[in-house]
Structure 1
Amino acid sequence: MENNNSAKMMNNTDSESFFIAQVLPPLYIIIFIVGICLNAVAAWIFFRVPADSGLVVYLKNMVVADLLMLFSIPFRVANYFGFNSWYLEMIKCRYTAVLFYFSMYVGIFFIGLISLERYVKVVYLAPSSSTITSSCATFVLAVLTWSLLFLCCSPNSILTNWPANSHNFTKCIQLKTPLGKQWHQATSLFTWSLFWLTLIVVAFSYTFIARQVYKTYRCMRRDSREVYRNSNRNIFSILGVFCICFVPFHVCRIPYTMSQVSPKHFSQDSKFWLHQIKEGTLFLSAMNVCLDPLVYFLMCGTFRKSLIRKLSGRKKRKPLSTDLSLSKM
């Protein structure tokens, strides 16, 4: 019986070594390189556009959130490669892992705000409604978003202690104070709930936007119905990216957190597989830093035109408009 258990644990260790130490690091390196290139271009364009509408304010904040997440990825890769440095591990546990989750949920929240902004403008307001008041209101919402999530996530860094030596911890949860473990559990539940609420808001908003677009274009000429098809493509692409990147991780996050906070209630095998699933689905969440710029490039006509104008070296460029067309998403 003991031999079987030992063999099982050895197989688990080998599987973890292959998946986490060999499969994930190259994949993270790829999304880091691609994400840096795409987000640098996105920032280059967006931060030359005046923040005269809610959509532009939210998109600029999403670019910042993606860049922050990208900054944390090299530390995660170093940890996966197994560099035997307790100092590097501590930096990851106390700072860069917190930064990773913080920036991820900032981006998720802004996706929800963008969907609400599009819903209000498409369903209730005229296409020309873009006032300084709405821009100021979205700026306030952006500040509140960063502040709320910073207050939520930063204690996870503060309530993590430095180890006395390099042999007294194997997981980040072991470095947390008793209050830190409770805060970690509460934060996980709060951000988990925030995600599912955001998903409901996004699905609700784009469902009614699609309905409104259909009403607008169903009686128009046949050649105009291409706009309707393009709008539906954009809506389902956004929902697809959101679900592929974030839903799998949030399905397994609460069970994984519970296995850390209350390990006595989980077997070694279940804790092992929850860890594998969590790391794999977390990689899908990190892929969002590459897919966000692709959403800007492929689905935002004015963004794409602005990029072409900048690359072609035109001296006179028009500002990025933010009308109601779903192609502007």
Structure 2
Amino acid sequence: MNDSQANASFKCVRDISVTSVLFPWLYSIIFILALLLNSMAAWVFFTIPSKSTFMVFLKNVVVADLLMTLTIPLRVMSDTGVGGHPLRAFHCRYSAVLFYVTMYISIILLGLISLDRYLKIVRPFGKGVLQRVWVGQALSGVVWVVMLSLALPNVILSDQPPRYSNGRIKCTSMKSQAGLDWHEGFIYFVQVIFWGTLALMIFCYTFISKKVYESYRASKSSSQAATRKTKAKVFVVVAVFFVCFAPYHFSRVPYTMTQTGNAISKCRVKNGLYIAKETTLWLSATNVCLDPLIYVFLCSMFRNRLMAVLQRKPLHKGDSPTATSTQLSQMTNNRLVGPPK
């Protein structure tokens, strides 16, 4: 009986011809670019004091992106068979979990950044509780603790002897039944996180864009050129977020159903969902290369410090513009992109 169940379980052989050849190269490109960009971002950010919740959230995104980047080499070696089965088992149990959890920590932090920019427009003349630095630090800490705690059972419950499919360890085979149930529940939970964060970002940036446009009209500035510039700034986060993460979250749930149950039985469909998941997951991973665009567009302090580094000259307080109190449009724009140095 057990043998027949095992044979039925592995009757559908996973097609890894693409994932074991193409994706290691694609992930290697991401790793090189992300390591360079995020190392530079970390070096710049940690020379800037954390005087706002905006800066606190951005620094935490950099840390999450760096940790996610450092898991990529293990994924590449696992997919190409370097290190054999022990490395594959290590990747399944530890580094893959860290890859996913840091991705969702980054997603939540991007949502908090959007909320922070929204509050800057709603309450431009005073700081609410959510805009205090210590609250930003506490929220960031809670995000890290909660997400790591929820991911920990995926490590602990991957305690079964590994089984092989097509000569390679199948990660879900290392999970107990409780582990499979937790894995499925965690996937549904992070789906709620993603779509909820996306809705929050659309709301916040739609409102911000409306306010900025109104301020340009009130100040009788060249609204057409100003509006184009503003839209580029306020929607870069939403665009990066949607392009990177939405395709993966469309494909993840049906793929999870092939891992944890028998709702999908056709082998061709299972392999198609596996390829779709791997392709969209790689697209999600490109976010670690695109997040630095957000820093450049939305954080003037980061932008000024980076330009000073690239031009190899010291940054003085007078090198960058300050907010003009007589122009509502400039004030609103400064609140949107973060405080100037």
TM-score, structure 2 as length reference: 0.85
Q: Which residue of structure 2 aligns with residue 209 of structure 1?
A: 208
Matched, 1:220 2:230: no
Instruction: Give unmatched runs, 5+ long, in structure 2.
Output: 1-11, 324-330
Could you say if the C-alpha distance between residues 263 and 218 of structure 1 is closer, same or farther in structure 2, counting changes exceeding 3 Å? same
AA at the equivalent of 2:187? S
Could you say if the C-alpha distance between residues 90 and 109 of structure 1 is closer, same or farther in structure 2, counting changes exceeding 3 Å? same
Do the aligned partners of 1:39 and 1:67 also contact (CA within 8 Å) in 2? Answer: yes
Q: Which residue of structure 2 aligns with residue 153 of structure 1?
A: 151
Could you say if the C-alpha distance between residues 25 and 103 of structure 1 is closer, same or farther in structure 2, counting changes exceeding 3 Å? same
Larger fraction in helix: 1
Distance 2:269 2:45 in 1: 45
Deviation at 1:119, TM superposition (A): 0.5
Matched, 1:68 2:103: no
AA at the equivalent of 1:273? G
Distance 1:50 1:164 in 2: 47
Do the aligned partners of 1:62 and 1:107 also contact (CA within 8 Å) in 2? Answer: yes
- CA deviation string 1:276-310 (max 9, x = no partner): 00000000110000000122124533322111223
Could you say if the C-alpha distance between residues 229 and 153 of structure 1 is closer, same or farther in structure 2, counting changes exceeding 3 Å? same
Instruction: Give unmatched runs, 5+ long, in structure 1.
Output: 1-8
Q: Which residue of structure 1 aligns with residue 9 of structure 2?
A: none
Do the aligned partners of 2:257 and 2:263 also contact (CA within 8 Å) in 1? Answer: no
Show the 5 A alignment for 1:163-174.
163=161, 170-174=169-173
Cα RMSD, aligned residues only: 2.7
Deviation at 1:263, TM superposition (A): 3.4
Do the aligned partners of 1:218 and 1:225 also contact (CA within 8 Å) in 2? Answer: no
Deviates more, 1:116-125 or 1:27-36: 116-125
Q: Which residue of structure 2 aligns with residue 27 of structure 1?
A: 26
AA at the equivalent of 2:40? V
Structure 1 segments of 4+ aligned residues over 2 angstroms from their partners:
123-126, 128-133, 162-170, 219-229, 263-266, 297-302, 310-329
Deviation at 1:225, TM superposition (A): 5.5
SS in 2 for 1:218: helix
Could you say if the C-alpha distance between residues 193 and 133 of structure 1 is closer, same or farther in structure 2, counting changes exceeding 3 Å? closer
Show the 5 A alignment for 1:89-238.
89-126=88-125, 129=127, 134-161=132-159, 163=161, 170-223=169-222, 226-238=225-237
Show the 5 A alignment for 1:78-97.
78-83=77-82, 85-97=84-96
Distance 2:231 2:102 in 1: 29
Distance 2:299 2:226 in 1: 13
Do the aligned partners of 1:118 and 1:324 also contact (CA within 8 Å) in 2? Answer: no
Q: Which residue of structure 2 aligns with residue 311 of structure 1?
A: 310
Distance 2:56 2:263 in 1: 46
SS in 2 for 1:88: helix
Relative contact order, CA 8 A, sep 6+: which one is greater?
1
Do the aligned partners of 1:35 and 1:290 also contact (CA within 8 Å) in 2? Answer: yes
Deviation at 1:233, TM superposition (A): 1.0
Could you say if the C-alpha distance between residues 318 and 191 of structure 1 is closer, same or farther in structure 2, counting changes exceeding 3 Å? farther
Deviation at 1:65, TM superposition (A): 0.3
Q: Which residue of structure 2 aligns with residue 263 of structure 1?
A: 262
- CA deviation string 1:229-275 (max 9, x = no partner): 21211122221110110000001111111110003642111111110
Deviates more, 1:32-41 or 1:155-164: 155-164
